[in-house]
């Protein structure tokens, strides 16, 4: 479709001096499109929601991470170089946020620890068990805290009141932390209702 638009533009404006993309150029554009489509899809999913979607984020971000890692092995040098640069930027945020996103994923009854286990084994391979143990210990802190708080008559549970390690670990990304905290609070309220009935 776009190739015919370029041809039409060239015919209609003969004075424009540019060369038309050839078949190889279009194949390359399609390849780049397929690679970058995941970012578009994730952005659409997040921006269309009016309620917290942190439980969905973990899977999506893990898929992005896995895609970037696979692009490093591309035969096309531009793709592997692009992946290398994207991974450098991605890892900066991934290292700060993967724990919090993993805990929210565990709180989702559909995911539990299986989702974290699967993706961490794919992403970290050899280091997976150590990373999973870190997440499990943070989750245990959350459960311990919730158990203590459920015994008290306080109605609201603020996720930010969790052990200070959890909050300080993720404080640089406050907006995302607030969204994730809201999801956690909803889950904790549901847990409380189930225990009270």
Q: Are residues 120 and 25 in the same domain?
A: no
Whole-number pLDDT of residue 160: 44
What pTM does this model have? Answer: 0.66
> Which range has highest mean pLDDT (22-26, 58-62, 92-96, 172-176)?
58-62
Q: How many helices (H) and strands (E) does the chain have?
A: 8, 0
Residues 169, 85, single domain; the answer is: yes
Do 42 and 64 fall into the same domain?
no
> Same domain, yes or no, for 170 and 180?
yes
Pick the range with the lowest mean pLDDT from 11-15, 122-126, 132-136, 187-191.
187-191
Same domain? 69 vs 26? no
- pLDDT single digits (tens) 126-176: 999 998 898 888 888 877 777 776 655 443 444 444 434 444 444 445 555
What's the confidence (pLDDT) of residue 154?
43
Domain count, the chain: 2
Higher-confidence residue of 178 and 153: namely: 178
How long is the chain? 197
Highest mean pLDDT among 41-45, 123-127, 191-195: 123-127
Average pLDDT over residues 102-121: 86
Q: What is the mean pLDDT of residues 79-107?
A: 87
Q: Specify the pLDDT at position 87.
A: 93
Domain that holds residue 59: 49-196
Q: Is 103 exposed, middle or buried (0-12, 13-18, 19+ CB in 10 A)?
A: buried
Mean pLDDT of 25-48: 86
Which residue, among 76, 65, 156, has the nearest Cα to 118 in the 3D structure? Answer: 65
Identify whether residues 119 and 160 lie together within a single domain: yes
Q: Is the dihedral of CA 101, 138, 172, 89 positive or negative?
A: negative
Does 110 share its domain with 180?
yes
Quick one: 29 and 107 in the same domain?
Answer: no
The percent of residues in the chain predicted with pLDDT above 70, rounded, is: 64
């Amino acid at each position: 479709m776009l190739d015919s638009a370029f041809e039409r533009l060239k015919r209609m404006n003969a004075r424009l001096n540019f060369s038309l993309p050839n078949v190889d150029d279009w194949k390359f554009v399609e390849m780049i499109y397929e690679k970058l489509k995941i970012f578009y899809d994730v952005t659409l999913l997040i921006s269309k929601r009016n309620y917290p979607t942190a439980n969905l984020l973990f899977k999506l971000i893990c898929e992005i991470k896995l895609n970037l890692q696979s692009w490093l092995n591309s035969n096309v040098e531009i793709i592997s170089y692009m992946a290398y640069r994207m991974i450098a930027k991605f890892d900066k945020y991934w290292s700060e946020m993967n724990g919090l996103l993993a805990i929210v994923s565990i709180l989702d009854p559909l995911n539990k620890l299986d989702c974290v286990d699967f993706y961490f084994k794919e992403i970290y391979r050899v280091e997976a068990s150590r990373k999973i143990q870190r997440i499990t210990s943070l989750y245990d802190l959350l459960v311990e805290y919730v158990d203590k708080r459920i015994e008290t008559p306080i109605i609201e549970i603020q996720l930010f009141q969790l052990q200070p390690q959890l909050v300080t670990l993720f404080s640089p990304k406050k907006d995302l932390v607030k969204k994730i905290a809201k999801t956690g609070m909803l889950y904790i309220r549901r847990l409380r209702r189930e225990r009270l009935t």
